[in-house]
Structure 1
């Protein structure tokens, strides 16, 4: 009979208080990173500049001379501040996720690290890709489509708070939709569903994707197609990636 395999985590147990102290330190570092990013963005391009950048896709489609309005007295101050904080968090997100990874990594086996680290990195990149796709492609098409239906007797003057809420909703929707490959990989790797079943579910997922797009996005065909089609393509990417991860992240075989 062969010797019992050595536990990779043997001797790594730390007192509960030590874990709490490390968790506190990681959280403090993450908050400092967000604070530094917020300070940098406050100087350049500044809260007003960030809001102008965020509003550019809508403003470019408004009739000549039309502007956005603020119906609340403190909105011109609070809304750009919220946008700066949001941008600071996104800017610091890679460092924040690194702190999360550094906290949980010591408690993972080597084959688990091969799964978790690529998923953390790829999920971050996919979320950023979803937000960028929404800003650079979807917004321009959607706003132009909506303005084309506006009666000439109506002067468009969107409220800045309502616009911020709309933008955040769309960013979260597209960022989350671009996480489809991660969800597929995790479900397949955990054994919840096999890769073959995922392929069989392909037709049903197309229907689900269009239903989700219809519920989340504004009631226009442009934004619905812009969300549903990438979800379907990313589902196919997830099926391909699932096979790769399952093959390369299996625990080492133990001798009996």
Structure 2
């Protein structure tokens, strides 16, 4: 009989049916958490939309005629559903992310587990930082676009289009900030070397600049640099980490060769 608190299967092996049951159980937990948080997010949608509308209030204070409107019968409900669903994903992320890790991690080796938890630990704050950067430049971008409204006319913005534009911009910048972490993860997996990452710095700078120009309107140079410069800095930081990893890897390999020689 196995001792209390210890498993009779020390290697942690599980049959396919067991894996499927485990996946199903964790999927249900994550799904229930998502639905519950989405319901809460549905009732928080109105204040969230008011917060998103803050740039429009500033524009009206500057004398620019702009209004946020519901353009059809079902749009108010549709916008509230969209916002509620996204809030549900965000609020339930600790639960569904943990369920995902709890399903994957037992099958990994110790070093692989460190990589996974290190990736998550670095990616989450970078994603939040990217979203905050996108949120910071959002009023400038909206102000520039609405500023093209001819004199005597009022810019009537559909609530759904306004939400989609705002969310896509903030989310895109958040994802862009996570890319350097993916580069480091590829280096840890032995797919790309630190030297190769450094060698591609020109392409990285070009890609960051083009991305900054893509998500910001033409002529908004300051907003473009606010987005592009941190991406370039993160890329070089990722390259530095990759070089350190390669250096330790070479030292470890040299030490193993020396031990074999003796």
* Structure 1 length-normalised TM: 0.83
- 1:19, distance to aligned residue in structure 2 (A): 0.6
Q: What's 2:84 paired with?
A: 84
Between structures 1 and 2, the one with greater helix share:
2
Q: What's 1:60 paired with?
A: 58
- 1:117, distance to aligned residue in structure 2 (A): 0.8
Q: What's 1:138 paired with?
A: 137
Q: How does 1:161-200 map to 2 (within 5 A)?
A: 161-200=160-199
In 2, distance between residues paired with 1:150 and 1:198? 44
SS at match of 1:157: strand
In 2, distance between residues paired with 1:215 and 1:118? 30
Q: What's 1:3 paired with?
A: none
Asked whether the equivalents of residues 94 and 124 of structure 1 are also in contact (C-alpha less than 8 Å), the reply is no
Q: Structure 1 165/41 Cα, relative in aligned 2: closer, same or farther at 3 Å?
A: closer
In 1, distance between residues paired with 2:56 and 2:87? 19
In 2, distance between residues paired with 1:245 and 1:133? 29
Asked whether the equivalents of residues 65 and 155 of structure 2 are also in contact (C-alpha less than 8 Å), the reply is no
Q: 1:19-73, CA deviations, whole angstroms, 9 ceiling, x for partnerless residues? A: 1111111111112222232233345xx3212211222233432446742112221
- 1:10, distance to aligned residue in structure 2 (A): 6.9
Q: Structure 1 245/160 Cα, relative in aligned 2: closer, same or farther at 3 Å?
A: farther
Q: Structure 1 213/72 Cα, relative in aligned 2: closer, same or farther at 3 Å?
A: same
- 1:243, distance to aligned residue in structure 2 (A): 4.1
Cα-Cα RMSD? 2.7
Q: What's 2:127 paired with?
A: 127
Q: Structure 1 163/50 Cα, relative in aligned 2: closer, same or farther at 3 Å?
A: same
Q: 1:105-159, CA deviations, whole angstroms, 9 ceiling, x for partnerless residues? A: 1100001111111102221222222112211x11122223334443323312211
| Larger RCO (CA within 8 A; separation ≥ 6) | 1
SS at match of 1:67: strand
Moved over 6 A (4+): none
In 2, distance between residues paired with 1:129 and 1:32? 28
Q: What's 1:6 paired with?
A: none
Larger mean Cα displacement after TM superposition, 184-193 or 19-28: 184-193
* Structure 2 length-normalised TM: 0.81
Q: How does 1:45-56 map to 2 (within 5 A)?
A: 46-56=44-54
Asked whether the equivalents of residues 61 and 143 of structure 1 are also in contact (C-alpha less than 8 Å), the reply is no
**How many residues get paired?**
243
- 1:101, distance to aligned residue in structure 2 (A): 0.6
- 1:181, distance to aligned residue in structure 2 (A): 1.8
Asked whether the equivalents of residues 126 and 178 of structure 2 are also in contact (C-alpha less than 8 Å), the reply is yes
Asked whether the equivalents of residues 188 and 195 of structure 1 are also in contact (C-alpha less than 8 Å), the reply is yes
Q: Structure 1 141/111 Cα, relative in aligned 2: closer, same or farther at 3 Å?
A: same
